[in-house]
Structure 1
Amino acid sequence: MRADKALLLAWGLILVAAVGWPFLLPGEYLWRDMALLHDPALTPGALGSGALPARNVPQDALLALAGGPWIARVLILGAAGCAAATAALWAASPWTAAGAMACAVANPFVIERLLQGQWSLAIAAWLLPVIAYCGLRGHERSAWLAMCVASITPTGAVFAVLTALFCARTRVGLAGLVLWLPWAIPGIMQAQTGSVTGSARTAVEAFSPHAEHLVGTAGALIGLGGIWNSQAVPDSRTAGFALAGLGVAALAVLGAFRLVRREAQRLGALALMGMGAALALWLCPGVAVWLVENVPGAGLVRDSQKLVMLAIPLYVAGLGALPRGFAPLALACTLLQNVDAPRALGVLAPTDTGVDRALVAEIDDRTALFVDRPYLVEVTAADGTRGVAIDPYSKVTAQLSSGQLSVDGDVVDQAAPAYLAALAAWDERDMAQLEKLGVGVVVLDGRIVASTPAPPPALPWAPMAGWLISPLLALVLRGAPRSACPLTPKKR
């Protein structure tokens, strides 16, 4: 028994290292949606009240309060480790645990989202099985703490609550609505002021799931893949290895029939809701357009592939419940579906972000208008791959960003009205208007070319403060009477 535990521990460490190795390296990170810099600024945008939608709340505020990438490293490696441990303890035997652990840590959803730079969404994907397991086994405190960490991104917060509503007591899921405050309140205010602009139809089309070789779009989704950006996919999946994902799905469903009925029903319902919604919105994009246009907060589903994340707990539990004879096949399928993931993740390694710290110090917390910097800048990854990333200055200054986003030449998000107004004022050299808009400095060619008496922006702390103290709610939640440890399985 001790040998089995040691082997599973070693296997878990190998899986976490294979996926998270770039985050074991020192330095700053800049790739696509990821910008993890030293000494990020605590700005209105980081707290959700900037000119752009609050899509990076509360993660940006957490990074600013922590002072740099170290907190992201801890959360990424810790969440992946918790996913591996949960899969091992959920499994019926050490043999089936190996495949379940591989699915929990290195499934296509996690790999593709990491390659897109969405590290916080990967954390949420790792923690959904933890929330489900702890909820089903009655470990409410641990489920709540996992929900708090998963909620560093809005999508993670929503899916964590949904998982808790299916797998834990209702009060745990409803309490999770508190975790929505940092982005829900700014989102409602922005919707009322009309500060968010863009075509819902264009966005839904741009973020539609993409087909993968030999399996198509439906097969990609069933295999937990199919992200909209085909460049954020390991090369192996374009060579037909996505077929292994169908094997993983089939084996997971087979194993699910061996679960305790209560667990199978709840995990199955959660998976059907997520996978069914993802497939439905892909087949009927008009429904997604209507939701984005008419339902507050439904902008989360314009990237409908994210919904398959709700199936991960069932896949993990189902693979772990397989008969011992299926264990080699399950392990082979889970590894083959992302066989080159460790190499592909090399683009995430630390790199030079090009930030001029002297310029940042000179800006001194004032709102800056960068006249000649786009929302997305060209970057070169550590392995030499060229791509784009969010402007790193938006993380270290109170930058008035345009937010304009184009996908394959189609404008998905229009430039923010506040940015356009400030740019027009600068073209007219109307410094009074710039001051009225809150712009403190104007930056051109890497230096400050003008300034106004506008003070540094105020910081709206209330929603973020509620999120920061949310882990304390674990003190009032009652854990399972049999064990205070969430990762202690019940006796069989």
Structure 2
Amino acid sequence: MRAAVNQWWAPAYGAALVLALTWPFLVPGEAFALRDMMVFDQMALTRASLGWGDLPARNVPQDALLGILPHPVLFLRVFMVAAAACAAWAGHRLGRSPLGKAAAMTVAVWNPFVVERLLQGQWSLAAAAWLLPLVALRLHPASGLAHWLASLTPTGAIAAACVARSPVISVITCLPWVVAGIFAGAGGTSSAASADLFAPRAEAFTGTLGALAGLGGIWNAHAVPGSRTVGFALFGIALFALLALTWREVPRRWLALAGLGFLIALLSWAGLLGPVVAHVPGAGLLRDGHKWLILAIPAFVAAAGALDPRRALAALTFALLQVPDAPVAVAALTPTTVEVPAIHHQGRDVLFESRPTLVLIGDHPTVDPAPKAFNVVESGALTVDGVAVDPPSLRWTAAQAAVDDPQRLRELGVGVVVRADGEVVDTQARVRGWPWTGVALFALWCMVPLLLCGIDHNKRRKRADQGF
């Protein structure tokens, strides 16, 4: 009987953790839309999804992959559940006792960073956080595949590159957005004001430092589970204190990366990242300083796994209690209905004379689905709490100024104009060509699994040769 329990407790507990946070992805529905999340089955491959649109390449290669898949919604469902399962598996591998394994699994799957990023709609970043402990384990080929999938978002690509120490894969997975950022002309900086607005924030009874210690403290108070607004974040401080007891058991590289993640978050909180974000090319990636806490997750999981059984049980309890309502909070992710404008664009760029960057779906402002379904002249303007965070793109500004001038619109590459009164005007502009550099780099990114299989095959052959 004990043998049977020992054999099945881990899969059962891991499955419970995974299902508790990913159940909305198993609910029937046609689309997922929540704040930064917008996934539906009519998505298309566009210049913007390749990083060569009017805005910085923040969703590359994520949107490009969704644009070529026949069923993006199905992919999202499978991907999110699989990513959470990878976190549970990696936690189990890092644990040194049954309770240590359970604690590591809990910290890996059930933590405020993942929950808050899910509620912000940053599904690919949450998935990267789940995948990172597996990347850190450096198991072939599983860790390589986890590295590749984590790179759906630039932040995940950088985090995985820091953890993996796999130069070739790291370069290939970063190239699509790095090259687009350099040559597509959308820029890689942001405003100093945005760094302040996206700085970590305090949570109830913990202050900002206490919130960060538990991997919480996201800038958007609306993306925080209710339990953390009434004091449950205090359990995150208790968890941090327990994990600190086993710091010597954590690989030094992971500790260093955790320190780097906390340093970036603290610099953001102190208001010291504004000049960097505003003036250093590519530093726009740092404006949301809180998200770099992702680098601390492998160290947290390893530390939990190294605890003795009594302390591991306490760590498991504290991890659950710091976000006890997580399964209820993620209900906001349940599928919904998305209305995509039906425009006869024939592959040409569409300009909306009056369409907001964010649309309201339910009670939440959500990114506009139109730019994910066809080529759109995007504004990208963003205002948070009355403060202009991102100005509109130059092409959008020029096109709006020339909305009554078909010749100028053709020069700007605008083929269709949708006016505020609903009238659709055809400017007779040609279809803009594909950015073949972007296509080639995305194709190279898609070939990473084949490269990993080749590397794994060569290693197996070398081991076989050595055996003879």
TM-score, normalised via structure 2 length: 0.93
Greater CA drift, 237-246 or 270-279: 270-279
Deviation at 1:405, TM superposition (A): 0.7
2:359 corresponds in structure 1 to: 377
Q: What SS does structure 2 have at the residue aligned with 1:249? A: helix
CA contact (8 A) 1:237 1:337 kept: yes
Deviation at 1:96, TM superposition (A): 2.1
Task: Give distance in 2, aligned partners of 1:389 and 1:14.
Answer: 30
Task: Give distance in 1, aligned partners of 2:10 and 2:114.
Answer: 21
2:465 corresponds in structure 1 to: none
Change (3 A) 1:340 1:479: farther
1:306 corresponds in structure 2 to: 291
Q: What SS does structure 2 have at the residue aligned with 1:35? A: strand
Structure 2 residue 53 is matched with structure 1 residue 71: no
1:363 corresponds in structure 2 to: 345
Letter in 1 for 2:56: P
1:388 corresponds in structure 2 to: 365
Q: What SS does structure 2 have at the residue aligned with 1:306? A: helix
Change (3 A) 1:448 1:141: farther
CA contact (8 A) 1:47 1:459 kept: no
Structure 2 residue 460 is matched with structure 1 residue 456: no
Structure 2 residue 34 is matched with structure 1 residue 31: yes
Task: Give distance in 1, aligned partners of 2:131 and 2:433.
Answer: 34
Q: Deviations over 1:58-105 (max 9, x none)?
A: 000100111321112221111100100110121112222222211111
Change (3 A) 1:197 1:324: closer
CA contact (8 A) 1:131 1:144 kept: yes
Q: What SS does structure 2 have at the residue aligned with 1:406? A: strand
1:408 corresponds in structure 2 to: 385
CA contact (8 A) 2:190 2:277 kept: no
Task: Give distance in 2, aligned partners of 1:229 and 1:51.
Answer: 26
Deviation at 1:129, TM superposition (A): 0.5
Letter in 1 for 2:274: V
Letter in 2 for 1:19: L
Task: Give distance in 1, aligned partners of 2:24 and 2:251.
Answer: 36
1:324 corresponds in structure 2 to: 309
2:414 equivalent among 436, 439, 454: 439
Q: Deviations over 1:144-198 (max 9, x none)?
A: 2111100000000011101113xxxxxx1454122111111111124xx4x4498
1:182 corresponds in structure 2 to: 176
Task: Give distance in 2, aligned partners of 1:103 and 1:400.
Answer: 42
Task: Give distance in 1, aligned partners of 2:189 and 2:142.
Answer: 39
Task: Give distance in 2, aligned partners of 1:173 and 1:197.
Answer: 23
1:151 corresponds in structure 2 to: 151
Structure 2 residue 252 is matched with structure 1 residue 265: yes
Q: Which segments of 5 or more consecutive residues in structure 1 lack a partner in the other structure?
A: 166-171, 381-385, 485-492
1:336 corresponds in structure 2 to: 321
Structure 2 residue 344 is matched with structure 1 residue 353: no
Runs of 4+, deviation exceeding 4 Å? 195-199, 445-448, 478-482
Task: Give distance in 1, aligned partners of 2:427 and 2:216.
Answer: 49
Q: What SS does structure 2 have at the residue aligned with 1:45? A: coil
Structure 2 residue 62 is matched with structure 1 residue 59: yes
Letter in 2 for 1:105: V
CA contact (8 A) 1:140 1:480 kept: no
Change (3 A) 1:413 1:467: same
Task: Give distance in 2, aligned partners of 1:371 and 1:148.
Answer: 39
Q: What SS does structure 2 have at the residue aligned with 1:57? A: coil
Structure 2 residue 205 is matched with structure 1 residue 214: yes
Q: Which segments of 5 or more consecutive residues in structure 2 lack a partner in the other structure?
A: 463-468
Letter in 2 for 1:115: L
CA contact (8 A) 1:141 1:479 kept: no
CA contact (8 A) 1:255 1:320 kept: no
2:266 corresponds in structure 1 to: 279
Task: Give distance in 2, aligned partners of 1:338 and 1:392.
Answer: 31
Letter in 2 for 1:47: L
Q: How does 1:73-112 map to 2 (within 5 A)?
A: 73-112=77-116
CA contact (8 A) 1:227 1:305 kept: yes
Deviation at 1:377, TM superposition (A): 1.2
Letter in 2 for 1:403: G
1:487 corresponds in structure 2 to: none
Letter in 2 for 1:20: T
Change (3 A) 1:69 1:370: same
Task: Give distance in 2, aligned partners of 1:247 and 1:12.
Answer: 23
Deviation at 1:472, TM superposition (A): 2.1
Q: What SS does structure 2 have at the residue aligned with 1:440? A: strand
CA contact (8 A) 1:371 1:423 kept: yes
Change (3 A) 1:89 1:35: same
Letter in 2 for 1:159: A
Q: Deviations over 1:105-161 (max 9, x none)?
A: 12100000000000000111011100111x2xxx24332211110000000001110
RMSD: 2.1
Deviation at 1:202, TM superposition (A): 0.7
CA contact (8 A) 1:19 1:341 kept: yes
Letter in 2 for 1:363: H
Structure 2 residue 452 is matched with structure 1 residue 477: no
Q: How does 1:239-250 map to 2 (within 5 A)?
A: 239-250=230-241
Q: What SS does structure 2 have at the residue aligned with 1:88? A: helix
Letter in 2 for 1:437: L
Q: What SS does structure 2 have at the residue aligned with 1:202? A: helix
Change (3 A) 1:296 1:472: farther
Aligned length: 455
Structure 2 residue 11 is matched with structure 1 residue 9: yes
1:237 equivalent among 220, 228, 235: 228
Structure 2 residue 112 is matched with structure 1 residue 119: no
